[in-house]
Amino acid sequence: MSYAAVMGRRNDIMVRAAGLDYRDFTTGTLAFDYEAMMKVAGDLATIREIQRQTRVGDTPLWELNNITRLARQLAPPGKGARIFLKDEAANPSGSFKARRAALSVFHAARNGYPGVAAATSGNYGAAVASQAAMRGLPCIIIQEVFDSRGVGQPEILEKGRACEAYGAEVVQLTVGPELFYVFLVTLEETGYFNASLYTPYSVAGIETLGYELAEQVYGREGRYPDAVVVTHAGGGNVTGTARGLRKAGAAATQVIGVSVDLTGLHMASDRDFNRKSFTTGHTGFGIPFLTWPDRADVPRNAARPLRYLDRYVLVTQGEVFYVTELLAQLEGLERGPAGNTSLAAAISLAQEMDRDQILVVQESEYTGAGKHPWAQLTFARENGIAVERGDPAGNRPGERIVIPEHPRQVKAKDYPLDGVCRSYLRNAVARAGSAALTPADHRFLAEDVRRDEEWVKRVLEEARTVEAP
């Protein structure tokens, strides 16, 4: 049971716990048949029916009339798109994560697993616990909660409380490599299903969100949205939503990813772990998963966000907190800050778009004691982070949270995808090592970064030249 021994068995553990042998999809050194892997989750109609069995989905779409009016007051003449919000807080566990949990827990029950387990400090834990309760399965949620001082983030503690309320056993750990080790040991000892965030079941569950969103906008307006803004962390949200939009016929809808800028903070750092205000939707996950998706707890990640992103922008923590208050006070909707990351960007992005265009903020999340802005800002102060009013340009992750004084100061900033694609391909070269890349690899990598094969080969060659001694 040493760390090295358990890690050495991880592939076998994962095969048994997910019911998938990822080797079946391998087509090259790095390449695999992505669409064949996604098909194991089932067709969209079946997935929607599975989710409806446990009251997941069919969430409302609200037009944010007052926030749209505000954006138009700030926009140049003729600009200011209509802003809509898909209210995923209406799901049983209060977030869109119920969609990905519903399918995973269904497959666990159908295939006779004695229970389900997930390693997550976010909303997904509550979603898995809620769905497991509905399906009558035991559930274990493993969380990274504490730094080495034994101090836990209020948001993670709130989510642990929610998991326990649904009847799950919650295992709380300090930040570090023990999370994956404990998760593997738990799966091996219990025989539980791995309700990972990154299996085809989990990502396909989000396709219903994109499909439903397109369906609702088309039914109301007679056309598809011009853009959908999606909070980006591990990539499942972007991937599933975009795939659902395409399946609905909204192939021309622009998909814009948004993360909170936490530049300089490392999520595996004991010091940095508690210097972020909420646990997801930030660059600490967003950038690493863009530049190499297969850093997940399964061999092949079903979340491939670079395949679908048309644009990627960043906002600051202060802007998200400000917009959270804005949503509550202008629209009467109190929602959790992490889910408002995309809304913060949308207010800025709408000002670039024409007034007759439609911009949809793709999800919201529930709020609660530990998820509330006041709890998170109080925790920031307790950790020595200054909380100020002023220009968000003065924000310094881990040092200073600057809350805007006026809505015109809320400005999404572009993060160029070309550089991200190049980083992804450099990682591909490093992962391949001395193994030769095949034509199948070149095709796969080109699909993963939405570039042509000649561009990919050129960048790969540049990367190999840099890597060479």
Tokens of 251: 């192939």
Q: What pLDDT sits at residue 44?
A: 97
Q: What pLDDT sits at residue 399?
A: 94
Name the residue among 178, 251, 205 with its Cα closest to residue 2: 178
Q: What pLDDT sits at residue 466?
A: 67
pLDDT over 90, % of the chain? 82
pLDDT exceeds cutoff 90 at 402: yes
Going from the C-alpha of 202 to that of each of 197, 256, 272, the distances in angstroms are: 6, 21, 29
469 band by pLDDT with thresholds 50, 70 and 90: very low
- The CA distance from 2 to 213, in Å, is 47
pLDDT exceeds cutoff 70 at 259: yes
Name the residue among 240, 253, 223, 284 with its Cα closest to residue 103: 240
Q: What pLDDT sits at residue 295?
A: 87
Going from the C-alpha of 398 to that of each of 39, 264, 393, the distances in angstroms are: 42, 8, 14
Average pLDDT of the residues in 3-7: 89
The CATH number of the structural domain formed by 50-94+201-414 is: 3.40.50.1100
CA torsion sign for 17, 19, 24, 30 is: negative
Let me know the angle formed at the C-alpha of 64 by 58 and 66, rounded to the nearest 5 degrees: 160
Average pLDDT of the residues in 55-67: 98
Structural domain boundaries in the chain = 50-94+201-414, 417-467
Q: What is the pLDDT of residues 278-306, one digit of tens each?
A: 778 888 889 999 999 998 888 899 999 99
Half-sphere exposure of 151 (CA within 13 A, CB side): 11
Tokens of 128: 């898995």
Among the residue ranges 63-67, 241-245, 267-271, 329-333, the one predicted with the least confidence is 267-271
Q: What is the pLDDT of residues 131-177, one digit of tens each?
A: 999 999 999 999 999 988 899 989 999 999 999 999 999 999 988 77
Residues 278, 64, 49, 120: what is their CA dihedral angle, to the nearest 10 degrees? 0
Q: What pLDDT sits at residue 467?
A: 56
The length of the chain in residues reads: 469
Average pLDDT of the residues in 364-369: 92
Q: What is the pLDDT of residues 199-216, one digit of tens each?
A: 999 999 999 999 999 999
Is-contact 137 105, C-beta < 8 A?
yes
Average pLDDT of the residues in 188-197: 95
For the chain, the first-to-last Cα distance in angstroms comes to 38
